[in-house]
């Protein structure tokens, strides 16, 4: 089924941005324009400030196991116990993502593996392709919270390697963080290790991709290239507001692929980082 993505963002042209490149791609000459399929996404730059990350729907990872975008990357790190809920909050505040809509202006609501009603969010095109939805809307965290009814959580990337349910309260708390709290989190977690900034004054390729000011490319020699900066110390566990399942159902009846890296199937992490078995559905 062909679906369209609506957005409330200003769709006007952008003059400056940072591109996030696939870690396997590197320019062969100083001003070589990257192919559109090697661009993970971009951050627009206005008045010297970075806007929210926008995933490229035409991105094709060189490695099929690579994250599709920064939110997907940080969710994987959390499931591996290598990042914290705070990292998710920062990514959610600074990214756009797509919410499944039911065709009449309301979000599509489905049940999570532990039988909780959820809206469905895809952070990249690879995840959208697994979900049968009449419509999609590209939104930010503010718009997501407005659409989120009481008692409804958010299921991210169902059927993917890092399918995660975030509670509605967690989403609202993330939105309500003030600038001082956000700045403190960035200060505590900032780490540019493995990140290369490549100035670029070239022109876009003939297929319509426009040129930006710089490309941010994870260093392929660094561990976990393609993941967002600021990984938490090894051994940090996911905290409250997060539930995971190794086999999240995919809306529309499409089969879900194999399990997530951690925790084990049928377990949900608690706020102290331990895992407790999920109760079977009645």
**109 belongs to a structural domain:** yes
Cβ neighbors of 184 (< 8 A, separation 6 or more) are: none
Q: Is pLDDT at 30 greater than 90 in this prediction? A: no
Mean pLDDT of 74-100: 95
**42 belongs to a structural domain:** yes
**267 belongs to a structural domain:** no
Q: Is pLDDT at 47 greater than 60 in this prediction? A: yes
Cβ neighbors of 185 (< 8 A, separation 6 or more) are: 86, 89, 90
Q: Residue 106's domain spans which residues?
A: 15-224+241-261
pLDDT at position 32, please?
87
User: Rounded to an integer, what distance in angstroms lies between the CA atom of residue 26 and that of residue 6?
Assistant: 32
**282 belongs to a structural domain:** no
Global pTM reads 0.69
Min mean pLDDT across 3-12, 241-250, 272-281 is at: 272-281
Q: Is pLDDT at 268 greater than 60 in this prediction? A: no
pLDDT at position 123, please?
97
**124 belongs to a structural domain:** yes
* Residues forming a β-bridge with 198: 215
CB atoms within 10 A of CB 31: 11
* Residues forming a β-bridge with 196: 217
**169 belongs to a structural domain:** yes
- Domain tally, the chain: 1
Give the model confidence (pLDDT) of 155-206 as tens digits: 999 999 999 999 999 999 999 999 898 888 888 877 655 555 555 554 444 4
**272 belongs to a structural domain:** no
User: Rounded to an integer, what distance in angstroms lies between the CA atom of residue 46 and that of residue 111?
Assistant: 39
Q: Is pLDDT at 120 greater than 80 in this prediction? A: yes
**160 belongs to a structural domain:** yes
Q: How confident is the model at residue 154 (pLDDT cuts 50, 70, 90)?
A: very high
What tokens were used for 272?
Answer: 């102290």
User: Rounded to an integer, what distance in angstroms lies between the CA atom of residue 16 and that of residue 14?
Assistant: 6
Give the model confidence (pLDDT) of 231-244 as tens digits: 322 222 233 466 65
HSE, CB side, 13 Å, CA atoms: give it for residue 36: 10
Q: Tell me which of 252 and 174 has the higher pLDDT.
A: 174
Q: How confident is the model at residue 13 (pLDDT cuts 50, 70, 90)?
A: low
pLDDT at position 215, please?
54
If phi over 0 gives left and psi between -120 and 50 gives alpha, with beta otherwise, what is residue 196?
beta
pLDDT at position 104, please?
92
Give the model confidence (pLDDT) of 208-228 as tens digits: 333 344 555 544 333 343 433
Q: Tell me which of 196 and 76 has the higher pLDDT.
A: 76
pLDDT at position 9, please?
46
The residue among 71, 72, 48, 57 whose CA lies nearest residue 3 is 57
Q: Tell me which of 6 and 89 has the higher pLDDT.
A: 89
pLDDT at position 107, please?
97
pLDDT averaged over every residue in the chain:
74
């Amino acid at each position: 089924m062909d679906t369209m993505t609506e957005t409330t963002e200003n769709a006007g042209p952008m003059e400056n941005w940072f591109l996030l490149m696939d870690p396997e791609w590197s320019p062969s000459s100083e001003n070589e324009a990257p192919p559109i399929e090697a661009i993970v996404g971009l951050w627009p730059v206005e008045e010297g400030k970075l806007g929210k990350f926008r995933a490229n729907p035409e991105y094709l990872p060189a490695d099929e196991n690579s994250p599709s975008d920064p939110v997907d990357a940080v969710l994987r790190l959390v499931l591996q116990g290598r990042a914290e809920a705070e990292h998710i909050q920062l990514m959610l505040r600074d990214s756009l993502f797509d919410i499944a809509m039911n065709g009449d202006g309301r979000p599509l609501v489905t049940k999570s593996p532990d039988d909780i009603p959820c809206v469905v969010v895809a952070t990249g095109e690879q995840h959208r392709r697994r979900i049968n939805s009449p419509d999609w809307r590209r939104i930010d965290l503010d718009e997501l919270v407005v659409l989120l009814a009481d008692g409804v959580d958010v299921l991210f990337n169902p059927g993917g390697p890092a399918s995660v349910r975030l509670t509605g309260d967690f989403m609202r708390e993330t939105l309500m963080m003030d600038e001082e709290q956000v700045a403190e989190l960035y200060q505590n977690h900032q780490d540019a290790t493995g990140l290369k900034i490549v100035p670029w004054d070239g022109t876009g390729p003939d297929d319509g991709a426009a040129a930006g000011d710089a490309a941010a490319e994870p260093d392929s020699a660094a561990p976990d290239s393609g993941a967002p900066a600021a990984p938490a110390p090894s051994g940090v566990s996911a905290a409250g507001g997060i539930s995971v399942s190794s086999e999240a159902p995919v809306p529309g009846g499409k089969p879900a692929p194999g399990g997530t890296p951690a925790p084990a199937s049928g377990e949900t992490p608690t706020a102290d980082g331990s895992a407790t078995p999920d109760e079977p559905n009645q």
